[in-house]
């Protein structure tokens, strides 16, 4: 300050020079000063221990639930898409709702591993592996719906009305269609997520291989570890690759949900035809994805005693992201109303009044209470520290985001331009069971992941501990 | 007696191995490496490694991806000639929209740019690291398993131009490792 006042006639120096850096206390990413060896033992222990009884119980329940999806889809393929509740005027029902819901769930995984990696958020290391697994399994569940909604699913891949293969009629897919952009976006997203996940796993597979007691384990983990041995010449290329993949996944994750939102936004249906959709869908996806990450990680933390690795600091960070994105989503809901009123388009105004007070008002208000009101509790530290409450709120977030997609899809279609063609959409039993089954499918995959793959990125966690710094004393 | 591959030294902390690596670099050795459980910040500098070549693969992959997307969409929707035995382009006029425009081709080309970049970068890492490499003398020694847990190793290969059995061994011992041992081919 003294220097600024003594040069009163001179050009004022940059304000940044006057600000003293505040020492922000760095939160430890691993509590209780755990050693490298402790981290290895803890995480490998989960893969190496005898399969616990609870795992088998959950696995069997999950398999039974997953069978709903398979029975539903086989029934659909044999009978036709009429078994779903789709009819005029609502030709897009639960299938697209479930698709967008599951894709959205996936986004937190990529966000944690990519965007937080670029932002050098060290707390991502404890949760990125499980979140990425969640992403992949969510994309698997999501992919089922658009593939099966075409009915004759065996034509979807070849001879190609989804993928551009030269087909029997020599007609190509329509590249002007957002639905085809979706095919490319989602399949690229799925592929890159799997690759990113696997690349992150290589060093940890090597750790499991090195600790393996039986020959089968040694060979199996040896193959997937690719002969990794932790050479620094390898780490050098590996780290560069990881950074590049993070840099590639960041625009990817944003583009995927943007393109998903184009499915709606480039149409002319009132309530869909809005420019706020891309950012609003992305915020919603991150919101629901983080909700699901916490829904999954909090029970795991309790079961496996991972409190030192998923600390209160991690939970705080995630709940704050949920709070921020939930508030953004709330802003988008308000802004849609404002633009409808300001745009002075009668159909648009009606679409939004109808959403809030029409025949689907129940769904709208479930959405508002779950998505806008429930995350606001995260302003309070007391609530963020109560894991049970956090878990319950994240369940509300998941429910709310499903309803958001339902509200967008169904309310706009059920009452559009002509009152003579209005209708009321209800799902059928097949719709409901197919959807419930995807939770089973997701759980089956996630449980297998828990059994065979290190749950957390050991090498990365070790690298963010204080003793990993060569200048640490 | 198997051929000698090199001399291996074991260290306990990241700082120890980093200082050792600096000394080995300064001594001018070429064929040597360190094995660590995680990437140590600053180790590339300590070893005198240049910036990784992986980004060059990425830029090639990305460019090819973008061009693939654009040309695929141009060919399929704006041409009507055929590639023999492969496929024909097919012009469909939809709602008076142009047969080709970079705008509607962009989303797909963008996704392919990312997809091809990812594939190329990963291929680049695998090629540069010569992975999968299921045989390496370091993998044969049981105690190197500790390197994927919490120990740090450094080895100098016998085929290094400066390698001299006795001198190199005493040099390595001068780095104050916890343990020194021979590596067999």
pLDDT in tens, chain B (185 residues): 457 888 889 988 888 888 899 988 988 888 889 999 988 888 888 888 889 899 999 999 999 999 999 999 999 888 888 787 777 788 888 888 889 999 999 999 999 999 999 999 999 999 999 888 888 888 888 888 888 888 899 988 888 888 888 888 888 888 888 888 888 87
> Tens of pLDDT along B4-37?
888 889 988 888 888 899 988 988 888 889 999 9
Is-contact A268 A259, C-beta < 8 A? no
ipTM of the prediction: 0.91
Closest residue in A to B121 (Cα) is A241
Please check whether residue A215 touches B, CB under 8 A.
Answer: no
Output the six-digit token pair for A262: 């184009």
Q: How confident is the model at residue A382 (pLDDT cuts 50, 70, 90)?
A: very high
B118–A195 CB contact, under 8 Å:
yes
Cα A352 from Cα A278, distance rounded (Å): 18
Who among A176, A244, A460 is closest to B58 (CB)?
A: A244
In a domain, A472, yes or no: no
Contact between A237 and B41 using a beta-carbon 8 Å cutoff: no
- Nearest CB neighbour to A184, from listed B55, B108, B145: B108
Rounded Cα distance, A473 and A91, in Å: 65
Residue A391 lies in a domain: yes
Judged by CB atoms closer than 8 Å, whether chains meet at B122 and A199 is answered as yes
* Contact between chains at A237 and B129 (C-beta distance less than 8 A): yes
Is pLDDT at A205 greater than 60 in this prediction? yes
Chain A from 335 to 364: CB within 8 A of any B CB: none
Q: Which residues contact A17 (CB under 8 A, 6 or more apart)?
A: none
H-helix segments, chain B: 14-26, 43-47, 54-78, 102-129, 137-140, 165-173
Structural domain span for residue A396: 29-457
Strands (E), A66-161: none
Is the per-residue pLDDT at A278 higher than 80? yes
Domains plus CATH for chain B? 4-51+137-184 (3.30.70), 53-129 (no CATH)
- Taking an 8 Å cut-off on Cβ atoms, the answer to whether B118 and A192 are in contact is yes
Contact A185 B117 (CB under 8 A): no
Q: Mean pLDDT for chain A?
A: 87
Task: Provide the percentage of residues in chain A whose pLDDT is more than 90.
Answer: 48
A192-196 mean pLDDT = 92
Would you say how long chain B is, in residues? 185
pTM of the full predicted structure? Answer: 0.89
Place of tokens 């074991």: B10
Residue at A463 is within a domain: no
CB A248: neighbour CB atoms within 10 A?
24
The total number of structural domains that make up chain A: 1
For testing the chain B interface, which of A231, A238, A253 should be mutated: the one with the most B CBs within 10 Å?
Answer: A231
CB contact under 8 A, B40 and A468: yes
Give the closest of B55, B105, B148 to A206, CB-based.
B148
* A468: in domain: no
* A133 lies in some domain: yes
- Set of chain A residues whose Cβ sits within 8 Å of the Cβ of B147: 229-230
Residue with tokens 């769904």: A363
A72-117, pLDDT tens digit by residue? 999 998 998 889 988 888 888 888 899 999 988 888 888 888 888 8
A28-62 pLDDT per residue, tens: 778 777 888 888 888 888 888 899 999 999 999 99
| Residue pairs between chains A and B whose CB atoms are closer than 8 Å | 213
Does residue A4 lie within any of the structural domains? no
pLDDT recorded at residue A1? 39
Residue of chain B whose Cα is closest to the Cα of A199? B122
CA neighbor of A296 nearest in space, from A70, A114, A105: A105
Domain assignment present for residue A184? The answer is: yes
- Answer for the pair A227, A77: CB distance below 8 angstroms, yes or no: no
């Amino acid at each position: 300050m003294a220097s600024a006042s003594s040069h009163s006639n001179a050009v004022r120096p940059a304000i940044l020079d006057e600000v003293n850096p505040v020492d922000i206390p760095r939160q430890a990413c691993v509590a209780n000063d755990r050693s490298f060896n402790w981290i290895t033992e803890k995480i490998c222990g989960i893969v190496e221990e005898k399969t616990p009884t609870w795992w088998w119980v959950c696995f069997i329940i999950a398999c039974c639930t997953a069978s709903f999806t398979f029975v539903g889809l086989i029934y659909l393929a044999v009978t036709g898409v009429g078994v779903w509740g789709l009819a005029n005027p609502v030709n897009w029902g639960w299938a697209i709702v479930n698709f967008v819901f599951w894709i959205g769930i996936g986004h937190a995984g990529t966000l944690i591993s990519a965007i937080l990696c670029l932002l050098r958020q060290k707390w991502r290391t404890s949760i990125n592996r499980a979140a990425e697994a969640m992403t992949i399994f969510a994309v698997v569940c999501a992919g089922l719906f658009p593939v099966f909604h075409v009915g004759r699913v065996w034509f979807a891949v070849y001879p190609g009305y989804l993928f551009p293969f030269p087909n029997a009629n020599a007609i190509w897919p329509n590249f002007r269609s957002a639905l085809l952009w979706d095919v490319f976006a989602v399949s690229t997203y799925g592929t890159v997520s799997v690759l990113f996940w696997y690349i992150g796993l290589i060093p940890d597979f090597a750790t499991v291989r090195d600790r393996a007691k039986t020959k089968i384990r040694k060979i199996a983990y040896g193959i997937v570890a690719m002969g990794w041995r932790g050479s620094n010449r390898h780490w050098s290329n590996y780290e560069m690759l990881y950074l590049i993949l993070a840099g590639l996944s960041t625009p990817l994750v944003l583009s995927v949900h943007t393109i998903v939102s184009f499915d709606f936004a480039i149409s002319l249906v009132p309530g869909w035809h809005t420019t706020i959709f891309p950012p609003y869908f992305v915020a919603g996806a991150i919101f629901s994805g983080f909700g699901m990450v916490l829904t999954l990680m909090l029970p795991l933390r309790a079961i496996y005693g991972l409190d030192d690795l998923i600390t209160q600091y991690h939970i705080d960070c995630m709940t704050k992201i949920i709070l921020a994105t939930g508030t953004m989503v709330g802003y988008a809901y308000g802004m849609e109303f404002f633009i409808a009123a300001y745009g002075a388009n009668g159909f648009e105004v009606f679409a939004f009044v109808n959403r809030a007070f029409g025949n689907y008002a129940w769904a709208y208000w479930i959405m508002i209470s779950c998505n806008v009101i429930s995350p606001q509790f995260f302003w309070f530290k007391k609530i963020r520290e109560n894991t049970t409450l956090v878990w319950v709120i994240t369940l509300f977030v998941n429910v709310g985001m499903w309803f958001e997609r339902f509200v967008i899809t169904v309310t706009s279609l059920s009452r559009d331009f002509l009152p003579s063609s209005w209708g009321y959409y209800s799902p059928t039993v097949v719709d409901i069971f197919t959807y419930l089954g995807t939770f089973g499918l997701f759980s089956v995959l996630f449980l297998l992941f828990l059994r065979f793959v290190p749950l957390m990125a050991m090498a990365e966690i070790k690298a963010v501990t204080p003793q990993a710094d060569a200048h640490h004393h | 007696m198997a051929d000698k591959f090199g001399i291996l030294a074991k260290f306990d902390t990241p700082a120890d191995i980093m200082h050792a690596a600096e000394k080995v670099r300064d001594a001018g050795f070429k064929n040597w490496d360190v094995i660590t459980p995680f990437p140590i910040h600053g180790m590339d500098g300590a070893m005198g490694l240049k910036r990784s070549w992986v980004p060059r693969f990425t830029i090639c992959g990305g460019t090819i991806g973008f061009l693939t997307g654009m040309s695929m969409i141009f060919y399929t929707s704006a041409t009507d000639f055929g590639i023999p035995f492969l496929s024909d382009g097919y012009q469909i006029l939809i709602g008076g929209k142009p047969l080709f425009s970079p705008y509607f081709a962009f989303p797909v080309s963008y996704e392919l740019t990312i997809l091809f970049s990812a594939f190329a970068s990963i291929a680049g890492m695998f090629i540069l690291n010569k992975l999968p490499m299921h045989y390496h003398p370091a993998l044969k020694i049981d105690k190197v398993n500790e390197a994927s847990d919490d120990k740090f190793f450094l080895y100098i290969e016998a085929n290094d131009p400066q390698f001299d059995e006795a001198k190199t061994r005493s040099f390595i011992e001068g780095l104050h490792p916890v343990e020194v041992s021979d590596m067999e081919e």
